[in-house]
Amino acid sequence: MPGAPWRSQGCNTCRKRKVKCDLQRPECARCLRGGHHCKGYDRTAKFIHTFVEPNDPQTLEVQQKPKRSRNKLQPPPANVPTIVVVNVNAQIRSQLFSVFIDSYVPSSASGQISFRCQKSSNLIESFPSLMDRPRSQLLDRAIAALASVFVGKKFNDERMINNGIRIYNQAIQIFVRLIPRSDLPVQEVLCANLIFQLYELINCSSGFSGWMAHMEGANAVLARHHQKLEGDQMSKMLLRHLKLANIFHAIGKSKSALASCPMWQMLTPLENDNDLIDEIIDILMHCTVLVELVGDARSERETRRLKKLCWRLKHRTDSWYEQLRSLFGGPLYTSIPDETDIARSGRIKAIYTSRYQFSAVEIAEAHSLYWAAQLITYSLLFGLELLGGSFAQHGTPLSIQSGYPSNTNSKESELYMEEAEFCADQICRGVAYLIQPDMHILGGENLLFPVAMAAQFFHGNGFHDKYEWCQEVFIALESLGIGLSHVLQGTPWSDYKSGQARTL
């Protein structure tokens, strides 16, 4: 005997957006985290034989077929409410994307305090609102491709994966046709570009080349049309994500992130409404500038000047961390025994016996970027110390492209090496927190760049056991659905610079 049909218990906003609600009251955490207005859980009862207002968000209209006349189809009377036509394919795409969002965004972990280091929501969570805008073939296909490929890989459905690849190719063709237009919808194109980058991160079938192409495409669009961007929250979140991706790309290339798109310095200045995440990203941007300058250093005088710049950046980074601590007012993380089985293949022993339990996801993300910035700065100071000694003794620079030799008698250089190793170890101790089941894909995505930085440091300076440990982390990230982590396994920076990393 059939019972009552299942009805969602979620808040009205999550029901309208067709996403899973965490049922927190009086306002759900998902709406708060996504920057949406939670409309609560009250329902307005509507009898099925009465007309409802077409704009009521808490009701669902049913499409009715018009009665056929034997002579002609008469136009509907003017006083009959407009019936919304339900697009079944659009509903399916929305459901697929809802599955992706639930697997991508971290859920509320028990015992976690509600703290937002970032005032703006994660951009990926706002994608469903893009689907509510006037129909955009580009965004519609880009989102459908991402969701189809992810769900297909999650459930080993080859037909859905192939369908996602087909839709992805269609979206790329639309993207190419839009680029030459003088009235280019910049925000829409950049949103699609970010979706393409996420697609390549999950379904990485061409090594780094696909992700690189989209990154360079975003830079080209910004260089020509940045003045058309609106100053709304969506544009700010877009610039934040694209700027951070540009930094990762620049570090891998040992080039300044401003070289490919000088507009970055102007697009995201430090303003009063910027939060601490924006500032640490800006610090990392300046790190890329120093990486290129150190690589091009050709005199002892130049190395001394670059040392001063590195120390100035380090002091700025230390000041940033003090602001973070004062803003929070309590312990940012605690050290607990590490019971996470990172070494899946059993090739290596457990290196880190303790791990960090952070107070919030945003705190973990901020620390990963902070330790990455410190690792880059100390590595540059170590390299400059060796370059200065080389100039003083031989008048010629050492090659720093293949890593620095660890056998040096300078106490100062040894101190820099110890500090750099400490920062790389700190990154590794934060891994277990971000690969917990509750962290989902976003937790693992936040680890890609910091762990890759730590792995390259360990590889270049002879820490073989720790380097192998990082390779096991990439295996764990691949199991989460991050296909790009497979390419990062065993990939030195030289392969990234040439774009010749291994493909799946």
pLDDT of residue 425: 95
Residue 379 vs residues 287, 294, 334, 374, 417: alpha-carbon distances, Å: 11, 11, 27, 8, 7
* Domains: count for the chain: 2
Per the domain annotation, does 115 fall within a domain?
no
Residues 23 and 90: their CA atoms lie apart, in Å, by: 26
> Is the domain of 137 the same as that of 24?
no
> Is the domain of 211 the same as that of 338?
yes
Per the domain annotation, does 72 fall within a domain?
no
How confident is the model over 155-202, as pLDDT tens digits? 888 998 998 999 999 999 999 998 888 888 888 899 999 999 999 988
CB 466 within 8 A of CB 411: no
Residues 436 and 367: their CA atoms lie apart, in Å, by: 17
Write the single-letter amino acid at 256. S
CA angle 96, 97, 100 (to 5 degrees): 95
- Surface-to-core class of residue 209, CB atoms within 10 Å of its CB (0-12 exposed, 13-18 middle, 19+ buried): middle
> Is the domain of 162 the same as that of 256?
yes
Per the domain annotation, does 65 fall within a domain?
no
For 475, residues 6+ apart whose C-beta sits below 8 A from its C-beta are 344, 345, 485, 489
**CATH number for the domain that contains residue 21:** 4.10.240.10
| Domain coverage including residue 383 | 124-498
Residues in the chain: 504
> Is the domain of 31 the same as that of 174?
no
pLDDT of residue 424: 96
The answer, as to whether pTM is greater than 0.85, is no
Per the domain annotation, does 259 fall within a domain?
yes
Per the domain annotation, does 208 fall within a domain?
yes
> Is the domain of 31 the same as that of 130?
no
* E strand spans, 180-274: none
> Is the domain of 260 the same as that of 354?
yes
> Is the domain of 15 the same as that of 144?
no
Residue 448 vs residues 206, 338, 368, 430, 499: alpha-carbon distances, Å: 17, 20, 10, 12, 17
Residues 174 and 187: their CA atoms lie apart, in Å, by: 15
Which parts of the chain register pLDDT below 70?
1-7, 43-90, 108-122, 125, 127-135, 206, 260, 263, 265-274, 339-349, 389-409, 491-504
